[in-house]
């Protein structure tokens, strides 16, 4: 896919140069060029007959714990084998040009941290954290071994209360982590530019962040090869993949103003 017009990229680069705080709000499309399927891509292989939206709930886990737990361990394996692409490096590089950069991600893959971003707020948890279903007792990730084969995996029992261990992610109907939400909402209300990268904008409350930024006067820039639910409220739309658009923006910041 071609890059957006040079004039669009120039306008965004110039707003980035002026901003004191930039929020980079990312979704699953951010990781696609690292080989991680988006949440709404159809699953392949062993998991092709399942709908992710129907696996990512407490009800699904209660009904079929081994299926849901096995699916998350398979995804953890895919993520562990993935390497952050050039768009991730560009987000890290932004920190050289903007006094404050906050990454607010819906992703559970940890790629922003692995790439080296300094301030990352994970709104939907992480594939590398676990806790028990009943009491949320933390369970060490290193105690959850990679299974020899992909497929169903019985979750271990909590050593404190015997309840099954579940992934430390936020399922539908669950509250997002309070501290991350407070920090993300504050950053959205104060930023000069928000880059909204690779999200369909379907899932709340994360989908509200661009509107908060826009209402507070920020430039909201959508980076996505396809239109999304957020396109109409974006100030500027960069139609293209994260791995091309974000490095192109940083290249402009590196050049003469």
SS3 (DSSP) at 199: coil
Q: Which amino acids are annotated catalytic?
A: 124
Asked if 206 and 123 count as a contact pair (C-beta separation under 8 A), the reply is yes
- Cα(42)–Cα(58) distance, rounded to whole angstroms? 21
Which of residues 39 and 218 has its CB atom nearest to ligand BJW in the complex?
39
The structure tokens 């509250």 sit at: 175
- Cα(123)–Cα(99) distance, rounded to whole angstroms? 23
Which of residues 11 and 202 has its CB atom nearest to ligand BJW in the complex?
202
CB of 256 to ligand BJW, least distance (A): 28
CB of 227 to ligand BJW, least distance (A): 8
Residue 230 is classified by DSSP as: T
Which of residues 138 and 161 has its CB atom nearest to ligand BJW in the complex?
138
CB of 122 to ligand BJW, least distance (A): 10
CB of 4 to ligand BJW, least distance (A): 12
Which of residues 179 and 256 has its CB atom nearest to ligand BJW in the complex?
179
Nearest residue to ligand BJW, by Cβ distance, number only: 29
28-to-65, 197, 201, 242 alpha-carbon distances in Å: 24, 9, 11, 11
Residues that bind ligand BJW (CB under 6 A): 27-29, 32-33, 38-40, 56, 106, 108, 124, 169-175, 197-200, 202-205, 223-226, 228, 241-242
Taking the chain, what is the end-to-end CA distance rounded to the nearest angstrom?
A: 27
């Amino acid at each position: 896919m071609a890059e957006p017009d040079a004039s669009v990229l120039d306008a965004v680069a110039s707003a980035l140069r002026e901003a004191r705080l930039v929020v980079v709000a990312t979704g699953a499309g951010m990781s696609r060029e690292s080989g991680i399927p988006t949440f709404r891509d159809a699953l392949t292989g062993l998991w092709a007959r399942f709908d992710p939206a129907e696996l990512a709930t407490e009800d699904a886990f209660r009904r079929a714990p081994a299926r849901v737990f096995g699916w998350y361990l398979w995804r953890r394996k895919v993520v562990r084998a993935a390497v952050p692409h050039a768009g991730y490096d560009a987000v890290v590089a932004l920190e050289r040009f903007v006094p404050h950069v906050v990454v607010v991600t819906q992703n559970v893959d940890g790629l922003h941290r692995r790439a080296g971003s300094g301030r990352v707020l994970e709104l939907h948890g992480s594939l590398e954290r676990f806790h028990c279903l009943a009491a949320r007792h933390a369970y060490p990730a290193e105690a959850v071994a990679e299974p020899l084969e992909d497929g169903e995996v019985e979750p271990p029992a909590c050593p404190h209360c015997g309840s099954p261990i579940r992934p430390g992610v936020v399922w539908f109907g669950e509250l997002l982590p309070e501290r991350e939400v407070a920090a993300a909402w504050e950053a959205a209300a104060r930023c000069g530019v928000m880059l909204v990268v690779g999200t369909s904008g379907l899932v709340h409350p994360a989908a509200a962040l661009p509107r908060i930024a826009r209402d507070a006067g920020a430039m909201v820039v959508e980076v996505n090869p396809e239109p999304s639910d957020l396109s109409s409220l974006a100030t500027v739309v960069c139609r293209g993949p994260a791995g091309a658009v974000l490095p192109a923006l940083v290249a402009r910041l590196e050049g003469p103003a």
